[in-house]
Structures are given as structure tokens and as C-alpha cells.
Structure 1
Amino acid sequence: MTALLLSVHVLAAIVLIGPIAVAASLFPRYARTEPDSGAPRLLHRICRGYALAGLAVPVFGLATALQMGVVADPWLLISIGLTLIAAALLALVILPAQSAMLTEPVAATAKRLTMTTEIFNLIWAAVVVLMIVRPGSSTGA
């Protein structure tokens, strides 16, 4: 059962979080340079839709952690905290800024959005490293 849960968790992360990372990264450029092309709306729709579906990632991650008995491990607690920060950035900063830029593309907003999106992506990179290295485990460094 652990292998199945872990497989679904990893696949969901790749298939659901990956598109958000790419679309959110591309959005500021297209919103600034090609606001009437339809690309910004599509990228925003991808971010918004995949954000909801992306809730499956922590759900299956927590189920996997419970199955493995690692819920109290520091690497997992840090990963959960980082995931919450990334989710908050997406829901409270990135998606609202994208919505605002769809109606009025402002260069200053695009710069802030780019920076926030880069932070969002770096957080996910840190979570992936923690999931792979798992400090203190037999597979850790």
C-alpha cells in the first residue's frame, strides 16, 4: 500500500505542481508583452485549475507519511511547512496578481509577480530535495 500511495503522491506532484510552476513562471512575461494574445488567460486558467487539483499532492503525501510512520520526522514537518507557504503564495499572491494583470498589465506588478513565482518554485525545489534526501534516514546524506 505504501508503494501505491507514494507513487500516486509523486505522480500527482509531477503532473499537477509542474504545470503550475511553468505556467506561473511564463505568465508575467506574456501578460506584459502579449496581453491580448490569449496566452495570459490560458496560463492563469492553468494555474487556477491545477491549484485545486494540486490539493491531491499533500493529501496523498500525508497518507504516505502516515503509512510509513514518518509524520513526526523533522524533514517531513519542514516539507509540510514549506508546502503551506507555497500554497499561501499561490492562493494569496500569485493568483490574485495574475487576475489583476489580466485587466491591467503593470510592469511593477509583473516584476513582483516574477519574484514571487521564483520563490514559489524554489520552495517546491526545496521540498523535492527534502523528499529525496530525507535527512536522518538511511537514504539521507
Structure 2
Amino acid sequence: MTKFLLSAHVLAVILAIGPVTVAASMFPAVTRRVLAAPAGALAAPEAPEAPEAPDVTVLRTLHRICRVYAAVGLAVPVFGVATGASLGILGDAWLIVSAVLTAVAAVLLAIVILPRQDDILAAASKAEPLHERLPARLAMTTGVFNLLWATVTVLMIVRPGSTTGA
């Protein structure tokens, strides 16, 4: 059962967290393209069937990826705790630190990254001007989010105090 839980945990990380980190990292760059577009190029179409500006469509897709895979990513800590319990390591310091960093990353995604993406997408969809610093701030926050996940990954591989010799 432990091997199943560990496999499910690792697959959930790869399939859920990977897309969120990539899509969230791409979002600020596309936002910069939206800012650089000539005035009126991103205007909302008059007819409902008219296509949206390409960069706004990309923003919408990246945001959808972030939201959907963030929800799917809830499986990561669920399988992680189940795996830790089956291995009897829930009290290990490296696992507690990993859990705290995971929680910080989740909170950062939920209360900063996704809402800023919402704001940018709403403004871009209405062809409203965006603050020039918004993409840089979002990129920085996303970088911290990604760094947290990289740290958790290293902790999961190295496992300080592990008896496996890793």
C-alpha cells in the first residue's frame, strides 16, 4: 500500500503542480505582451461571436490551467500525508518543513497569484490599461512560489537524516 500511495503522491505532483508552475510562470510574460500591444488591439469584440485578441485568449487559458490544476493539486498533500503515515515519518523534521513550505506555496497561489491573474485578465478582457509593474510583481511572486516547490522537491529527495544513504 505504501508504494501505491507514494506513486500516487509523485504522480499528483508531476501532473498537478508541474502545469501550475509552468502556466503561472508564463502568465507574466504574456501580460507584458498585452501591455505592449497597440491601443485598441486588445479591445473586446463588439459581436459575441467575434474572436478575442490572441494574447487575451492565451491569458485566459493559462489562468484556467492554474485554477484547475491548483484544485487537482489538493491531491498532493492528501497522498503525501497518507504516505508519511504509512511510513511512520509524519514527525520527521524534513517532512514537517516540507508540509509547511507546501502550505505557504498553496496560500501564495490562492491569495496572491490567482487573484492577480484574475485582475489582469479582467482588465485585459475589457481593454483597460494595466499598471506596468503588475507583471513584474506577479513574476516575482510566481518565482517565490516556484522556489518553494523546488525546495520541497529537494527536501523530498534528500530527506535529511534518511537511512537510505541518499
Distance 1:43 1:140, change over 3 A: farther
Question: Unpaired runs of 5+ in structure 1?
Answer: none
CA RMSD between the two structures = 1.2
* Amino acid across the alignment from 1:17: I
After superposition, what is the alpha-carbon deviation per residue over 1:18-62, rounded to whole angstroms, capped at 9, x for unaligned?
000000000011122046321000000000010111000000000
Aligned length: 141
Counterpart-to-counterpart distance in 1, 2:18 and 2:86: 25
| Aligned twin of 2:163 | 138
Counterpart-to-counterpart distance in 1, 2:27 and 2:164: 37
Q: Name whichever of 33-42 and 50-59 sits farther off.
A: 33-42
Counterpart-to-counterpart distance in 1, 2:160 and 2:112: 31
**Scaled by the length of structure 2, what TM-score is found?**
0.82
Structure 2 residue matching 1:48: 3-state secondary structure: helix
| Aligned twin of 2:18 | 18
After superposition, what is the alpha-carbon deviation per residue over 1:71-120, rounded to whole angstroms, capped at 9, x for unaligned?
00000000000000000000000000000011224321111100000000
Contact 1:32–1:106 (CA<8 Å) still a contact in 2? no
Distance 1:128 1:140, change over 3 A: farther
Cα distance, 1:132 vs structure 2: 0.6
- Structure with more helix by fraction: 1
1:81-100 to 2 correspondences below 5 Å = 81-100=100-119
Question: Unpaired runs of 5+ in structure 2?
Answer: 35-41, 43-52, 124-129
**Scaled by the length of structure 1, what TM-score is found?**
0.96
1:59-98 to 2 correspondences below 5 Å = 59-98=78-117
Counterpart-to-counterpart distance in 2, 1:66 and 1:140: 21
